[in-house]
Amino acid sequence: MEQLLEVKNLVTTFKTKHGTVKAVNDVSFSLVPGEICAIVGESGSGKSVTSMSILRLIAQNGTIAGGEILFEGEDLLKKTEKQMRAIRGKDISMIFQDPMSCLNPVFTIGYQLEEVLKLHNKSMKKAERRARIVEMLRLVGMSNAEERLKQYPHELSGGMRQRIMIAMSLLLNPKLLIADEPTTALDVTIQAQIMDLITDLSKRLNTAVILITHDLGVVAGAAQKVIVMYAGEIVESAPVRELYYHPKHPYTLGLLKALPRLDMEQYSLQPMPGSTPDLLLEHEECPFFERCEQAMECCRKKPPFFQIAENHIARCWRYHPDFLAYQNQTEQEENSHA
Amino acid sequence: MHEQEKEILLSVRGLKKYFSLGHKKVLKAVDDVSIDIYKGETLGLVGESGCGKTTFGRTLMRLYEPTDGQILFRDTDIAHLNRKQLAPFRKDMHMIFQDPYSSLDPKMTVSEIIMEGMESDPTLPKKDRAARSLELLEIVGLNSDHANRFPHEFSGSQRQRIGIARSLAANPKFIVCDEPISALDVSIQAQVVNLLKELQERMGLTYLFIAHDLSMVQYISDRVGVMYLGRLVELATSDELYHRPLHPYTQALMAAIPIPDPDVETAKSRIPLEGEIPSPVNIPKGCAFCTRCPYATDQCRQERPSLQEVEPGHFAACHLIHQ
Ligand SMILES: Nc1ncnc2c1ncn2[C@@H]1O[C@H](COP(=O)(O)OP(=O)(O)OP(=O)(O)O)[C@@H](O)[C@H]1O
Ligand SMILES: Nc1ncnc2c1ncn2[C@@H]1O[C@H](COP(=O)(O)OP(=O)(O)OP(=O)(O)O)[C@@H](O)[C@H]1O
Ligand code: SF4
Ligand SMILES: [Mg+2]
Ligand SMILES: [Mg+2]
């Protein structure tokens, strides 16, 4: 199938008073239309910066220092700011953890939804706009839509605001929806409804979704493909079942073992030692080196990706096709240095 | 824990904590909760945001003035004791907070923070305090090198360890852990949870473990209580609660919790909850859950169901089950 989005070797850095932070380092992945791809990883691993880079919405002190972002074959990094404005919200839209960050408290829901349509579709008549908005609200499961249009954001619950934001983001039939922790602030019963809504709409409207979350439970039920990020880099990427049932990278393995399982009895959690590395320092070794229980001498050099199976890659020396020979060789080199 | 060795540490009866919001509006954050907490157990407390978990914990600790009810601790009702009368009980009860960043004073060194926790224990001689703080640091997996550093020099899980060391400083018997891992990354939550378990065994501690992550609560708890809008709606051992939830709210909650297993998740059928969550200042007259419950009857809308023991050790507050 034709790729919708291809991110190639993306590097995004930030200048801070302590030095340069490499928040996203050599990240590549792609999506086909209608596909739901999850990006997981802990706080600071670069999930949000990756998605904001796609929209070219990174903070003032940030730079996209390398790579390509092909959307329907065209490099978004080569577009003018004006062209990007036309793409944002229309072809690619985004929902955030906090719906209030994109809803204005002083305008009614109806007014705000209409503004989105006006901005991108000048020829649409008022009645058509209304009809489209009511249709969208029904689609996101809001009862008495006409009533809702007259309400202000603060009059709605958190789950309803999140639905409004989803409705808003889908008004213009985007081809790609980026959902950054869309349910983290919500209670689990509401989270389940919102996740069902997102997966259902993606199927019905053939919208591709980048789902950013740290919750591996949410991912298991929603995504077709999973990307695991660690310290700004992708460490493993695989189709969803492959990732959960045959994880390969020591970080992914450790993460799955550290998760509590409601459906299991009599098990013990295996904590992962240590904490994430400092992104301010240039690392020559594997970014997981400090915490990895399987680390070897050869891991002092950064591993490339190794192919595990179709569409399954892992960035770890253990999956070097000729691993034993490679390990011996580095150890010998090390000994001869000593 | 075995049945026969159950000894009640804390017995809560009809506990209420109401907040007055002015204009005659009253928010019933904790409304008539009764529960026994056994010595050496971990009692988990779950429920959605705003259901009153923190308020319950803080009221038990007497950080909030209870509106009504009893808190029996060591044969004394501490619910209405004054400051002075409360002093001898203070050292036995401590609280660990959610946010390891704001709950530690940035201007104090780690050992000062821990020694501050010893204030409530007048039996501990001043001269022994520094040594005891080093001992505590080791217990929580840090070391004496860390003693003279400041909180900002530590990672989130290390800060939470410092918070735990502080709460252990006065040798308490009972600790309320209010979302102690929510602010931490998944990969390190297990470090803190396992540490809490280990300390419990070593020191015979009793925990009230509050969290919204039910998977983690089930892992650490012997029994779990489920709250909904200020009320305790179900209470059972953690395995029983997962395998045989009785209250319709607990059933929906269990079905909604995502399991990190694609086959389990895709095969799962959810229990959709429609209807609005009532405002906490305007809780329905009958069962608090009646606005969202798929089985609600007229009785549910009129009469408040009481928490009843449906099977030994399994309590639920629902008219449907009581019939
Ligand atoms: N404007 C900025 N200036 C400096 N550093 C930044 C800036 N924005 C992000 N970073 C850094 O980039 C790294 C990646 O951040 P990012 O927000 O992508 O993480 P994340 O994976 O989305 O984490 P979370 O789960 O906490 O949302 C972090 O170390 C962060 O501190
Ligand atoms: N000091 C206060 N004054 C007034 N209302 C309060 C106060 N503290 C809590 N409340 C209200 O009491 C109710 C219960 O709050 P509480 O913080 O106990 O909930 P919680 O279950 O701990 O929620 P969360 O999971 O979000 O921490 C909420 O409606 C809250 O707004
Ligand atoms: S490359 Fe080495 S250090 Fe890195 S994850 Fe693999 S085994 Fe561990
Ligand atoms: Mg983020
Ligand atoms: Mg709370």
Per residue in B62-83, pLDDT tens? 999 999 999 999 889 999 999 9
**Residue B138: both structure tokens together:** 């080791």
Instruction: Tell the burial category of A199 from Cβ atoms under 10 Å away from its Cβ (0-12, 13-18, 19+).
Output: middle
Q: Average of pLDDT values for B149-155?
A: 84
Closest CA of chain B from A21, distance in Å: 18
Backbone angles phi, psi at A48, to 5 degrees: -65, -40
Distance CA B314, CA A255 (A): 33
The pLDDT assigned to B2 comes to: 52
Closest atom of ligand 2 relative to the B280 alpha carbon: 29
A147-151, A166-170, A313-317 — most confident range: A313-317
CB under 5 Å of ion ligand 4: residues:
A 48
The pLDDT assigned to B311 comes to: 94
Ligand 1 centroid from CA A23, angstroms = 6
- Say if the Cβ atoms of A217 and B214 lie within 8 Å: no
- For chain B, the maximum distance between any two Cα atoms, rounded to a whole number of angstroms, is 66
pTM: 0.90
Nearest ligand for residue A49 CA? 1
Ligand 2 centroid from CA A114, angstroms = 36
Q: Average of pLDDT values for B124-133?
A: 86
Ligand 4 centroid from CA A43, angstroms = 7
Cβ atoms of B271 and B255 closer than 8 Å: yes
Distance CA B52, CA B94 (A): 19
Confidence of residue B4 (pLDDT cuts 50, 70, 90): low
**Residue B233: both structure tokens together:** 């709606």
The pLDDT assigned to B182 comes to: 82
Interval A104-145: pLDDT, tens? 899 999 999 999 999 888 888 999 999 999 988 888 877 778
Stretch among A65-69, A77-81, A219-223, B177-181 having the lowest mean pLDDT: B177-181
Distance CA B231, CA B51 (A): 8
CB-defined site of ligand 3, < 6 Å: A 250, 286, 288-289, 292, 294-296, 299, 303, 316-318
pLDDT score of A55 more than 80 = yes
B207-225 as b/e: b if 16+ CB within 10 A: bbbbbbbbbbbbbbbbbbb
Backbone angles phi, psi at B77, to 5 degrees: -85, 110
Q: Is B218 on the interface with A (CB under 8 A)?
A: yes
**Residue A258: both structure tokens together:** 């550290």
Q: Average of pLDDT values for B138-160?
A: 83
Kindly list the residues of chain A whose beta carbon comes within 8 Å of any beta carbon in chain B.
Answer: 42-43, 157, 187-189, 191-193, 195-196, 214-221, 240-241, 244-245, 254-256, 258-263, 265, 268-273, 275-276
The pLDDT assigned to A194 comes to: 87
Distance CA B265, CA B100 (A): 33
Cβ atoms of A92 and A173 closer than 8 Å: no
What contacts B82, CB < 8 A, 6 or more positions away?
none
Q: Average of pLDDT values for A83-112?
A: 89
Confidence of residue A42 (pLDDT cuts 50, 70, 90): confident
pLDDT score of B114 more than 60 = yes
**CATH number for the segment(s) A5-102+174-277:** 3.40.50.300
**Residue A237: both structure tokens together:** 């990427």
The pLDDT assigned to A89 comes to: 84
The pLDDT assigned to B65 comes to: 95
The pLDDT assigned to B160 comes to: 84
Q: Is B294 on the interface with A (CB under 8 A)?
A: no
Confidence of residue A1 (pLDDT cuts 50, 70, 90): low
Looking at residue B152, the DSSP 8-state letter turns out to be: G
CB-defined site of ligand 2, < 6 Å: B 19, 27, 29, 47, 49-55, 212, 280
Stretch among A181-195, A217-231, A285-299, B196-210 having the lowest mean pLDDT: A181-195
Residue scoring higher pLDDT (A49 or B103): A49
- Say if the Cβ atoms of B256 and A254 lie within 8 Å: no
Q: Domain-by-domain residue ranges, chain A?
A: 5-102+174-277
Interval B227-259: pLDDT, tens? 999 999 999 999 999 999 999 999 999 999 999
Closest CA to B217 of A214, A251, A252, A269: A269
Q: Is B193 on the interface with A (CB under 8 A)?
A: yes
Distance CA B229, CA B227 (A): 7
Going along chain B from its start, the domains and CATH numbers come out as 3-92+173-262 (3.40.50.300), 107-170 (no CATH)
The pLDDT assigned to A328 comes to: 79
Cβ atoms of B300 and B287 closer than 8 Å: yes
Q: Is A19 in the pocket of ligand 1 (CB under 6 A)?
A: no
Residue nearest to atom 6 of ligand 2 (CA): B19
